Amino acid sequence: MSAEETTELRQRQANFSKELHGDHVGERTGMSALISKDKTAQQEAVAKYLRLWDGKTDKDAEQKRLEDYNESTHSYYNVVTDFYEYGWGSSFHFCRFYKGENFQAAMARHEHYLAHMADIKEGDLVLDVGCGVGGPAREIARFTNCNIIGLNNNDYQIEKAKWYAKNAGLQDHLQFVKGDFMNLEFEPNTFDKVYAIEATCHAPSLEKCYEQIYKVLKPGGTFAVYEWVMTDKYDENNEEHRKVCYEIELGDGIPKMFTVDVARDALKNCGFEVVVDKDLADNNDQVPWYYPLTGEWKYVQTLSDIGTFFRTSYFGRKFTNLMVSTMEKVGLAPQGSVKVTAALEEAAVGLVAGGRTKLFTPMMLFVARKPLDTTEN
Ligand SMILES: CC(C)=CCC[C@@H](C)[C@H]1CC[C@H]2C3=C(CC[C@]12C)[C@@]1(C)CC[C@H](O)C[C@@H]1CC3
Ligand SMILES: C[S@@+](CC[C@H](N)C(=O)[O-])C[C@H]1O[C@@H](n2cnc3c(N)ncnc32)[C@H](O)[C@@H]1O
């Protein structure tokens, strides 16, 4: 894409975001934000997200989704962000759970662990690739006292991230900028550390995305990522496997799920030294990472988790779907909202199936180092 085309796309997306979400985006979240959307723009956003997910899994259909990655992901997050915040909170990722540990503590620990593995230190300049509404950035800035630039291609989330950072008094440590991780516009060798949490799976090519990260990282710097991948168990010619993979792609706005081998090779091909390569979901945890989506009460750890667990569970999702459907019928929620809850339901079903069978992991941890001497690459 040329520089003019990029500027034009950004302007168009920014204008659309204003039209859809209005001003003062931080003040409303969840259902309250949903009912305040511009109804026509919401229908357009839902159509833009779903138009290429028409049930087809052939190469041609996949190619179209790969080419459209920027617009479809932008549209996906335009329509799911309110649901994510309502059901999950402001960190949009999974985590491991220990017995007795509540949901928020487990999520924060998962973020601290990545900061630790990335060796983030006080005063470091850090890039958060695909930062969502800034939940992890706020936690990691507090944990390490570093400075973070959060990069995101969704205007709505950027506005929310800025609002939350200011509200938390962290505006001197955090900046949020619009950008595409397939084309990072920072000067080469800018960042001490880079991390990405469950975001780069939206890339049409992991290698091209990691190349960009390699470019902006300082020599000797560390990149740590929780990657979404299909595991070694996945066989794309197995119909059952492909079904689970497609549910995850459709419901999570991912043009194509790559395998763990593709991700590992992509890092190496860019010149990274891979120092940690570990699937954190492949262990004997007593409480599985996907438990909130299962509806199995036996896993709920503390009373404080009951609300979150209800909203994320099977019955809670049915309840939300019914509520949204009624709101849509009476004209409170914009048309298209039910289609979004249906797509999120597919996500939940696919993620639990992928988790139970270990065909999929949302926490493939790679810690990769850019060599000090990069003349050979
Ligand atoms: C899309 C990527 C790469 C990461 C997001 C991971 C998770 C935070 C989401 C994946 C599926 C989402 C669902 C919900 C919240 C956020 C996720 C767990 C809901 C529970 C939100 C409330 C809705 O009523 C149901 C959703 C099901 C899926
Ligand atoms: C599942 S969310 C994770 C957000 C955040 N890392 C967290 O854990 O809360 C994925 C994020 O990647 C961002 N994203 C997707 N494609 C992108 C792209 N091409 N360039 C920049 N950000 C992108 C989305 O807008 C979204 O904020």
Atom of ligand 1 nearest to the CA of 251: 11
List, for residues 303-342, the tens digit of each pLDDT value: 888 999 899 999 999 999 999 999 999 999 889 999 999 9
pLDDT exceeds cutoff 60 at 103: yes
- Confidence band of 168 (pLDDT split at 50, 70, 90): very high
Rounded Cα gap, residues 169 and 195, in angstroms: 22
Which bound ligand lies closest to the C-alpha atom of 133?
Answer: 2
**Per-residue model confidence (pLDDT) at position 239:** 95
List, for residues 261-287, the tens digit of each pLDDT value: 999 999 999 999 999 999 999 998 999
Which bound ligand lies closest to the C-alpha atom of 77?
Answer: 2
Q: Which residue's alpha carbon is at the smallest distance from atom 6 of ligand 1? A: 93
Regarding the beta carbon of 73 and ligand 2, being less than 6 Å apart is answered yes
ipTM > 0.90 (yes/no): yes
Distance spanning both ends of the chain, measured CA to CA? 25
Regarding the beta carbon of 294 and ligand 2, being less than 6 Å apart is answered no
Average pLDDT over residues 135-161: 98
Structural domain of 245 = 1-377
Distance 136 CA to ligand 2 centre (A): 12
Alpha helices (H) along the chain: 3-21, 30-35, 39-50, 59-67, 69-87, 103-117, 135-144, 155-167, 206-216, 239-252, 260-270, 306-312, 314-329, 337-357
Q: Where are the beta strands (DSSP E) in 169-310?
A: 174-178, 191-197, 217-230, 273-279
- Confidence band of 30 (pLDDT split at 50, 70, 90): confident
**Per-residue model confidence (pLDDT) at position 28:** 85
Average pLDDT over residues 138-155: 98
Q: Which residue's alpha carbon is at the smallest distance from atom 18 of ligand 1? A: 88
Rounded Cα gap, residues 154 and 131, in angstroms: 10
Q: Classify burial at 192, counting beta carbons within 10 Å of its beta carbon; exposed 0-12, middle 13-18, buried 19 or more.
A: buried
Regarding the beta carbon of 160 and ligand 2, being less than 6 Å apart is answered no
Residues 181 and 158 sit within 8 Å (Cβ to Cβ): no
Regarding the beta carbon of 130 and ligand 2, being less than 6 Å apart is answered yes
The rounded percent of the chain whose pLDDT value lies above 70 is 99
Distance 31 CA to ligand 1 centre (A): 15
Rounded Cα gap, residues 164 and 147, in angstroms: 16
Regarding the beta carbon of 180 and ligand 2, being less than 6 Å apart is answered yes
List, for residues 195-217, the tens digit of each pLDDT value: 999 999 999 999 999 999 999 99
Regarding the beta carbon of 198 and ligand 1, being less than 6 Å apart is answered yes
pLDDT exceeds cutoff 60 at 146: yes
List, for residues 172-183, the tens digit of each pLDDT value: 999 999 999 999
**Per-residue model confidence (pLDDT) at position 376:** 55
- Name the domain count of the chain: 1
Average pLDDT in the chain? 95
Phi, psi for residue 255 in degrees, rounded to 5? -60, -40
CATH of the domain at 377: 3.40.50.150
**Per-residue model confidence (pLDDT) at position 118:** 98
Q: Which amino acid is at 6?
A: T
Regarding the beta carbon of 317 and ligand 1, being less than 6 Å apart is answered yes
Rounded Cα gap, residues 66 and 91, in angstroms: 26
**Per-residue model confidence (pLDDT) at position 47:** 92
Q: Which residue's alpha carbon is at the smallest distance from atom 22 of ligand 1? A: 87
Regarding the beta carbon of 291 and ligand 1, being less than 6 Å apart is answered no
Q: Residue with structure tokens 């039209």?
A: 19
Distance 79 CA to ligand 2 centre (A): 14
User: Is the model more confident about 376 or about 200?
Assistant: 200
Q: Which amino acid is at 133?
A: V
Helix (H, G, I), strand (E, B) or coil at 344: helix
The one-character DSSP state at 287 is B
**Per-residue model confidence (pLDDT) at position 312:** 93
**Per-residue model confidence (pLDDT) at position 377:** 52
Residues 6+ apart with CB under 8 A from 68: 52, 255
Regarding the beta carbon of 228 and ligand 1, being less than 6 Å apart is answered yes
Rounded Cα gap, residues 223 and 213, in angstroms: 8
Which helix or strand (DSSP H or E) is residue 148 part of? strand 147-152
- Confidence band of 374 (pLDDT split at 50, 70, 90): confident
